[in-house]
Chains A and B, each alone.
Chain A
Amino acid sequence: MKLIKIASILSMFGFLFVANAVSVVATNDNSTNTNSTVIDLNDNATNSNSTMLDVPKGRSVISGDIDISKLPDEIHSVWIVDGGNWKGYSPHPIVNEEIKESYILLEENIPARKATMVFAMEDTQIEVVIPSEPEDVTRLYGRGLSLHGANAQNFSAYDIVCSREGDALTAAIKVMGDVPTVFAPEREVESYENFINIYENEGYFVLCEEAKEE
């Protein structure tokens, strides 16, 4: 009996995604005409400060000013962490209903200082603005795992310093299309691509832990 229930729920959502896929086609058809000039001028972007960021299918963590009203239909939802809580927004009203039930619905555009976790159902592009004068923020890397946006700055992962005295950086992790890449101070982590630099449009996780005594 339980199996039947689960199957029917799954098939319901299967239908939802088919419906979304159809609406994607329609939306794209419309947008091609209205935005054609912009596409010519700025490689698909709709704003002179903006850029179209390739977002692969899966989960990715990015950073940039994001106008949530311009998210393409291939995006299931975008999320930020605010005050310890997940806040999310989706271009699909039915998903927003579920976000309201379980999390907090994001009602404002996302600033570049926040990392944005993107759930993409297909490869797509998101319009982001990399601010030329980003907000002045003090980055605090508390104990445990935290999520940050590059905030329009390029910098080395070696510059990440844990805020709490006695803590040390265990790792910084970026994710693009469900694939993590890793920075761990003074060592190579097997099985993953290792990085050193964090770029202006990237988001990243930071894990700070109590430093082990040598």
Chain B
Amino acid sequence: MDFPGKKDLLKAESFSVFYGDNEAVRKVDIEIPEGLVTAIIGPSGCGKSTFLRAVNRMNDLIPSCRAGGSLRLDGQELYTQGLDVVMLRKQVGMVFQKPNPFPKSIFDNIAFGPRIHGVRDRSKLAGLVEKSLQQAALWDEVKDRLGDNAMGLSGGQQQRLCLARAIAVNPKILLMDEPASALDPRSTSKIEDLIEELKGKYTILIVTHNMQQAARVSDLTAFFYEGDLIEFGETSQIFTKPGEKQTEDYITGRFG
């Protein structure tokens, strides 16, 4: 697919992910351009989260999981021997379905990533923390209590904290695995506003169950069904005149 002026950041060629013998993602070809928001939609168990987690190799945590084909981030093949997973994950931030701040202070949460990657200087860390929290629109709410435990924040604040934590290492791409599904509508809309603001600075890949959300926040939408990539295109086009029957059935609520 061609988007003028945008280079492809993430490129999958005949990429598959297996859990044991079960092929959860089946020979997917997709090119995700830089600087845009791409939504992945599809019914439960369609492989969208698995695909997302393949990008930062979080699937490695599952012993029976392996991958086939090629997945490249910025030209770098991800599934080769000798890939430095730490360096990969520095380039790929992730926000999870359930807010999962560490039971540490707000400051230490944000500084966790930079510290792993060798930032020790206190003033430099403080600067990073402030910048990240500002980008996540949380700075004004927490600037006076950076030393407080992050578990004391509300669910929505926690999720924005997790977002700030992810962007503190300045990743090339941000993965979001249903980032608003555990939140109330107000917090959800805040997260959506944030995605809007972060667009351009980061390439965002978001998995969502909520089709209105996908329609609201994304530039591109990919529809997965039973491990196959059925359709990939501009969001406006997918939601108004989908090219495939299955896509239409899904977005009109006939299944899923």
Q: Do chains A and B interact in one complex?
A: no
Interface residues of A (CB under 8 A from B): none
Interface residues of B (CB under 8 A from A): none
